[in-house]
Amino acid sequence: SQTIHQWPATLVQPVGSPLSLECTVEGTSNPNLYWYRQAAGRGLQLLFYSVGIGQISSEVPQNLSASRPQDRQFILSSKKLLLSDSGFYLCAWSKGQGSTYEQYFGPGTRLTVT
Amino acid sequence: KNQVEQSPQSLIILEGKNCTLQCNYTVSPFSNLRWYKQDTGRGPVSLTIMTFSENTKSNGRYTATLDADTKQSSLHITASQLSDSASYICVVSANYGQNFVFGPGTRLSVLP
């Protein structure tokens, strides 16, 4: 069976510090991978998605970047965090591209920028 | 603009009671609609998915309905349990690209 991992589970970082969140998927190959941010009282916002190693698409301009160094690894980064980067970050995977494919979410990372 | 609205924002019910959550959307062209359950501090888990031609889908005590003409969906929970306490998120997909539009969710609290 497939599982998706995210770490760390929680993170408190000062403004201006770097960020690295990691997501890995087990039990499947060549998944589509996604990074979402969930702000309090608002719907999930798609930040990045990837259909293969080294292939990253950005949905919104922002202070963050993503990389996919391996087939089942997806990393979310920032060189200098802003207060507005605080939120709940979710990684997800799907078997294919498009709305007909189910997305499976990881447990999330709670990021607080102070 | 593609949008998904949900009501109520929050709901408190007693264990054993039924409840209905609402979702209105303006996503076009419509592909499908999903309901997710998200426990506090966890990732969402899919409950149901409905395409244009489906007007009802059940998953245990959860029953979702879809009216594609009025662009409305509802999620009915029967005989609620304490474990139903969670946020319920309506997600509507457009028929192109990676276009998933997430609603803000309804926070349900089931009290003993």
Residues contacting B70, CB < 8 A, separation 6+? none
Q: Do B43 and A90 touch (CB under 8 A)?
A: yes
Q: What is the pLDDT of residue B111?
A: 98
Residue B97 clears pLDDT 70, i.e. is over it? no
Per-residue pLDDT, averaged over B69-93, amounts to 97
Confirm if B4 and B102 have CB atoms less than 8 A apart. yes
Residue A59 clears pLDDT 90, i.e. is over it? no
Q: Do A99 and B100 touch (CB under 8 A)?
A: yes
Amino acid identity for residue B102 in this structure? F
> What is the separation of C-alpha B86 from the centre of its chain, rounded to a whole number of angstroms?
12
pLDDT, tens digit, 9 for 90 and up, residues A94-105: 998 777 888 999
- Cβ contacts (< 8 Å) between B41 and chain A: which residues? 88, 107-108, 110
| CA-only gyration radius of chain A, Å | 13
Which range, A37-51, B20-34, B73-87, is most confident? Answer: B73-87
Chain A: residue nearest B37 by CA? A105
Nearest CB neighbour to A49, from listed B95, B98, B102: B98
**Cα-based torsion angle of the residue sequence A98, A47, A59, B95 in order, rounded to the nearest 10 degrees:** 20
> What is the separation of C-alpha B46 from the centre of its chain, rounded to a whole number of angstroms?
9
